[in-house]
Amino acid sequence: MPKKDTAAAVIGMLSTAGAQTRRTPESTDNGEQASAPPSVTVTEDVPASVTTLPTPALPATAAATDAPRTLRLRPATAQRLRQAWLEAKRDDVLLTAQDFASDLVDEALARRRRSRTINRG
């Protein structure tokens, strides 16, 4: 199969791409002038009215209950957490960092709640 001459094809496409919008040298030589844009005259005053669109109210409960999913840890704590996750991942290769950290925080919060109830009562 012969190789196509893509350069000639591209030049051929580009050379006629704007043919309808470009002036040809013959049209400027004939003394044709470009027509001026039509002018518009307003005969009556129309009062302009401005209205604002209503802004939807944000649900107060959604903002209060949705906690940010990203927390910043101290560098030393983050390093210890990563090391603990890598050690736990040896036993469970499908364990994600998100699941490990979530389980760890859930356990710590439960221990904290228990210790608070014991100290109060």
Of 15-19, 69-73, 82-86, minimum mean pLDDT range: 15-19
DSSP state of 72: -
- Residue 32 clears pLDDT 90, i.e. is over it: no
What is the predicted pLDDT for the residue at 46?
63
Q: Which residues does 80 contact at the CB level (< 8 Å), separation at least 6?
A: none
Q: In terms of pTM, does the model score above 0.85?
A: no
| DSSP string computed for 33-48 | -PPPPPP----S----
CA distance 63 to 65: 6
- Residue 82 clears pLDDT 90, i.e. is over it: yes
DSSP state of 92: -
Each residue of 34-69: pLDDT tens digit?
566 677 676 676 666 777 777 777 666 555 678 888
